[in-house]
Structure 1
Amino acid sequence: MRRITLLIVSTLAALVLLFSYRTSTGGGLPGTTSAAAAPGVVPDASAAPPAGSPSRKPAVRTTTVNGTVAQTRWGPVQIQATIAGTKITQVRVLQHPTGNSHDDQINAYALPKLRQQVLQAQSARIDGVSGATVTSDGYRQSLQAALDAAHGG
């Protein structure tokens, strides 16, 4: 009888500990911001030429656009792209998973590589980074939304 009671109590204790353990996928992620930049074209106050400036060749149109927030398994990913004419000239990460030190370590390695791949490919058709597949997929998704918004707007 004592063994059965001990077995039941220890099983219940183990279950309570197991269900109270917080993982990086549970609920709100510590360290992530819930405020996302609005998707779409970012207004540029410097786009209009100054009054009285001499007329020259038309300047290349530069557009900065925010992608949608891609909700991934590990947290949100949002990209901002700057496009001059038809060339992607800059890619910034507005949001990325930062739930724990492991996420920070992976993203410190992966995000610069993803940026480099985009600037080389000049599109969202990139390989991604091994070991950061979920973040790579969210990066691609947000970047593609930004590119779609830039070409549509």
Structure 2
Amino acid sequence: MTVVVLLFGYHTSTSGAQSSAKSAEVRQTTGSGTTAGGDTVTGDAADTRWGPVQVRLTVSSGKITAVDVVEYPDSNGKDKQINARALPILVQETLEAQSADIDMVSGATVTSDGYLQSLQSALDGAGL
């Protein structure tokens, strides 16, 4: 007698998407501070359906000199691919506009919306 045992696994493409986000830096950088390049202000984390997005600004003489996205969804390959393309665009547009008056990135609407919410929070905290 021969017995064949088949084992199947099932994983959805979004399993764990909401519980995992890049956050290694966020716990250490929440709030305001001063660096050699200016004052830093971290915006509130904006909860999105794929995970939180949080922005930290460096401001010097009333100008945004640097933007760091310290938390963003990256729990799966699609999140990583979308954000690897979208976040540099959002950061560059922020530096050029010196405000939250920037365009959303096509194909990254959820991340763009979270980015804009956290960016506005950081701008408010910086008094800009």
Same fold (TM over 0.5): yes
Q: Secondary structure at the match of 2:119?
A: helix
CA contact (8 A) 2:20 2:73 kept: no
Name 1:75's counterpart in structure 2.
51
Q: What RMSD, in angstroms, separates the aligned Cα atoms of the two structures? A: 2.6
CA contact (8 A) 2:93 2:102 kept: yes
Return 5+ residue gaps in structure 2 as ranges. 1-8
Q: Secondary structure at the match of 1:82?
A: strand
Q: 1:119 to 1:138 in 2, by over 3 A?
A: same
Q: 1:144 to 1:45 in 2, by over 3 A?
A: closer
Rounded to whole Å, the distance in 2 between the matches of 1:149 and 1:129 is 24
Question: What is the CA deviation profile of residues 7-50 of structure 1, one whole-angstrom value per residue up to 9, with x for unaligned ones?
Answer: xxxxxxxxxx9xx8545276753454487346432x2276xxxx
Name 2:14's counterpart in structure 1.
24
CA contact (8 A) 2:43 2:120 kept: yes
Pair 1:66-2:57 in alignment: no
| Identity score, percent | 48
Question: What is the CA deviation profile of residues 76-117 of structure 1, one whole-angstrom value per residue up to 9, with x for unaligned ones?
Answer: 100000111121110001000012000000000000000011
Q: Which has the greater radius of gyration? A: 1
Number of corresponding residues: 119
Return 5+ residue gaps in structure 1 as ranges. 1-16, 47-60
Q: Which has the higher helix share?
A: 1
CA contact (8 A) 1:72 1:134 kept: yes
